[in-house]
Amino acid sequence: MSVGRDAAHKLYKKVIVMWKKCLLAFLTLFAFVSSPAVADDLLRINVDIRYRWEYEDNFNQKFYGKNPPKGDSDDGFLLQRIRLTFDFNPHKNVHISAGLQDSRAYDVALPDDAFYNSRLGLEHNPNKDYLEPFDTYLELKKLFGRKLSLKGGRQIIAYGDKRIFGPGKWGNTGRYIWDAVKLSYRFGDNFVDTFYGRNIIHEPDRFSLDHRHFFEGCAVYSHFLIPMQGRDFYLEPFFVRKWDTHANFKSEDNTFDDFYSNYYGLRTYAEILPGFDYDFTFVWQTGEWGNDDLEAYGYHLLAGYKFRTVPWTPRISAEFSYASGDGNPTDGDRGTFDGVFGARDRMYGRMNLMDWKNLQDAQANLEFKPLKNLGFKAELHRFWLAEDKDAWYQNQKVYKDKTGKSGNELGVEFDIIGKYITPFKGLECQFGYGHFWPGEFVKKMADDVEADWCFLQLHYRFFEALL
């Protein structure tokens, strides 16, 4: 590690300590200046139960093709996730939440050790994690009589379209759950949030507080409404810093060191004409990956139109997502964008074969609602590697050709997803199908067979005031 980076990180740690002391001062002062008041729903229970059956044909969560190194190529399994939380509001400006999440998987052919992460030295399982704290935090509102709030504890942190900060709700355990402290300032339709936190690891056989976290991070994320010529434009500037100081990041010269990364970005979206909308996100990433210099970028562009006067109110849209890759695997410069802390489950094909890393994704969508409580979305994707000498990040350790001779064409995917809001209060049903046609790279590095996927999900949510 360079001396400059060492000094910068020590200074950064001092800033974090000072910030924590400021937050403690906030809490102390709040205790003295708050006036008693009665909150609605003194105690409330929230229940969230989800069951999903999935079938994967010619692929699994780690491998593609008929002969995977682990697990089966044809697998049907059931995922269960139960979340139970209690909300306690002893004061109109004080909110205490305490909850549990229990995630289980039945009949998954892929063994648990397939999710072992050598960088963590732990299993990080997307399917199961037993009886873990969830939404367990203290929230203080209207600090100093202003529109400031402070939330500390285990929590979900998500913004915008979930591309930069997403909870990863599709995954059975939740891709990003944070132990964090977040300070929020809201004014009108705008907000500025800043936080420091660490996202947890899903190790089913060990309690999350008994082992290390995954990444540490801090961020400023903001949202501003900009009225312009009778239209509302939205801007979301953000800055994120992410790091891991366990010296487990492998450089291109096969040495190991820490990871530090800064992200500078902006999201903007609006309805620019009646029915016409756009959404654009750009992120620039700099830092160090082990002993390699890191510079990368990613962007996403969407344009759509909704036919509001046509039966079924169809909406058509086109998207393009790009994440830079590493064009030279031996020069000590890393160019692979890593997706920040974003969701991937509904972004780059519903079969979860892709990630926002070394990726080009051209996408066309059709959405329609034949009934008020029934909607569909059909997606067609064409995928390429951004750099043919970098990996396909479905499994980067297995699917990488450093010579680039396998090409960059990953394949084509078609998905259709339906959502039905049942007559039973709180009960929602989702179902869907996906098909993947492999391209040149997948055929050479994995298998030339086509893959299929389908699912059926029931999701029940309710809450009840107890006091």
Question: Is 90 exceeded by the pLDDT of residue 335?
Answer: yes
- pLDDT at position 190: 97
116 and 92 share one domain? yes
* Mean pLDDT in residue range 271-285: 97
Q: Do the Cβ atoms of 247 and 256 come closer than 8 Å?
A: yes
pLDDT the model gives residue 343: 86
Indicate whether 6 and 113 sit together in one domain.
no
DSSP state of 132: E
DSSP label of 38: P
Tokens of 171: 């995954």
pLDDT, position 6: 54
If we measure between CA atoms, which residue out of 344, 366, 360, 357 comes closest to residue 415?
366
Share of the chain above pLDDT 90, in %: 87
Q: What angle do CA 87, 91, 94 make, to 5 degrees?
A: 60
Reported pTM = 0.89
The CA angle 123-129-134, to the nearest 5 degrees, is 125
In the prediction, which pLDDT does 307 show? 97
CATH number of the domain to which 365 belongs: 2.40.160.100
Length of the chain: 467
Contact (Cβ atoms closer than 8 angstroms) between residue 128 and residue 104: yes
Residue 33 pLDDT > 60: no
| Strand partners for 436 | 413, 451
Check whether residue 109 and residue 61 sit in a common domain: yes
As a whole number, the mean pLDDT across the chain is: 92
Whether the per-residue pLDDT at 157 is higher than 50: the answer is yes
Do 303 and 342 sit in the same domain of this protein? yes
> Is residue 13 pLDDT above 90, yes or no?
no
Q: Is the pLDDT of residue 37 over 60?
A: no
Same domain, 151 and 238: yes
Mean pLDDT value across residues 271-298: 97
Q: Give the pLDDT confidence score for residue 229 in this predicted structure.
A: 86
Query: Which pLDDT value is given to residue 296?
Result: 98
Residues 261 and 296 in one domain: yes
pLDDT digits over 70-94, tens only?
999 999 999 999 999 999 999 999 9
- Does residue 40 surpass a pLDDT of 80? no
Q: What is the pLDDT of residues 89-130, one digit of tens each?
A: 999 999 999 999 999 999 999 999 999 999 999 999 999 999
Q: What is the mean pLDDT of residues 409-420?
A: 99
Nearest to 195 by CA among 215, 179, 181: 181
pLDDT band at 145 (very low <50, low <70, confident <90, very high): confident
Instruction: Please write the tens of the pLDDT for every residue from 183-242.
Output: 999 999 999 999 999 999 999 999 998 889 999 999 999 999 999 988 999 999 999 999
**Range of the structural domain that residue 397 is part of:** 33-465
**Residue 463: predicted pLDDT:** 95
pLDDT tens digit sequence for 419-456: 999 999 999 999 999 999 999 999 999 999 999 999 99
Residues 321 and 242 in one domain: yes
User: Are 71 and 16 in the same domain?
Assistant: no
Q: How far apart are the first and last CA of the chain?
A: 56
According to the model, what pLDDT value does residue 129 have?
96
Do 120 and 5 lie in one domain? The reply is: no
Q: Are strands 315-323 and 292-306 parallel, antiparallel or unpaired?
A: antiparallel
86 lies in the same domain as 51: yes
User: Same structural domain for residues 447 and 430?
Assistant: yes
Q: Are 269 and 279 in contact (CB under 8 A)?
A: yes
Clarify whether residues 24 and 38 are in a common domain.
Answer: no
* Mean per-residue pLDDT, 158-174: 94
Look at the chain and report how many structural domains it folds into. Answer: 2
Distance of alpha carbon 319 from alpha carbon 163, whole angstroms: 13
Number of Cα atoms under 13 Å in the Cβ half of residue 283:
30
